[in-house]
Structure 1
Amino acid sequence: MLGYTNNALVFNETFNSSSNIFITDNPEFDIENDFYSIYPQFNGLIPEAVINMFYTVADASLKEKRFHESWKFMMCLYIAHLSTLYLQTVNEDPTAKSAIQQAMPKGIATSKSVDGLSISYDFMDASSDLHGYSTFKYTIYGQQLATYCKLYGHAGMWVNG
């Protein structure tokens, strides 16, 4: 009778806490009020269609039921990360260059010189904890998002058997 009624949904809801998988819908997220209010530097730099695609990816990847009060901020981090990567491909706008500069990972100063005005930074130690997080280590937004994900634990797994 699986599929005859809502048995599949009831089955999933019964066991989702033990499987750590959430397939519920997220609450409303408004790009204008939720994203641009936190990261106004992206407003007007990225076409609306592209921002909406980034929202769709973030919405499918991050579930409010898992991240609770942090969910909206994490959605913003995800969209800001993808927006930064997008701006790197179309960086002819001076405002875009400023947004990209602000989003680049910050290394740890390892050495300085005064007369030559030289500072060396170590980026490897700062992002070594993000091994396996793909491009998320390439922006400060991605690094923060990966850190939040690690704080909340790894995502659920489906075991078919």
Structure 2
Amino acid sequence: MRLTIAALAACLACAAAGAQEQPTYRLKRDTPSAGTLLRSTGATSTMPFDKPYAALTPAQQASLKAQYESMGPGDEPPYPAQGTRHIWQALIKAGDRYDEHGVVSIVVDVDATGTATRATVLKAPGKQLATYMSMILLKERYKSALCGGAACSQQFRFDAGWVDG
């Protein structure tokens, strides 16, 4: 059975933002499934995997900002500095390696310099995956959040879930 990761937070934000059709981005697995040369989709999202926050479209930025309680025009959430591709690739590999598939939700405290200071696992299918993904997210470099145009501390939330593909 082939598994696909879906970005739950992005889907929820997309639904909340309205019925505007957003493209779906796909991240292929590094290696093909047994018996084929084709690499299957490992993750899907309404956000591109390889773009930093500044390269996202205004609609994509608004979708991310909608996940936060209150963000004004000069506010921005923290976001992985190089995009999310390698985080998702790590999740795909770790899920398969540890055979732990299910909802993953981790909140990362990011300081005003873009450094992760703490990761809190809200939900994970197993301890090994939770520990591994926490380490990945803590090592990540982030674009710092902006509060009224000035760098500030804020949380970045990583949400993912496994669904049949």
Relative contact order: is structure 1 or structure 2 higher (C-alpha 8 Å, sep ≥ 6)?
A: 2
Question: Larger % of strand: which?
Answer: 2
Question: Larger % of helix: which?
Answer: 1
- What is the TM-score with the length of structure 1 in the denominator? 0.30
Larger radius of gyration: 1
- What is the TM-score with the length of structure 2 in the denominator? 0.30
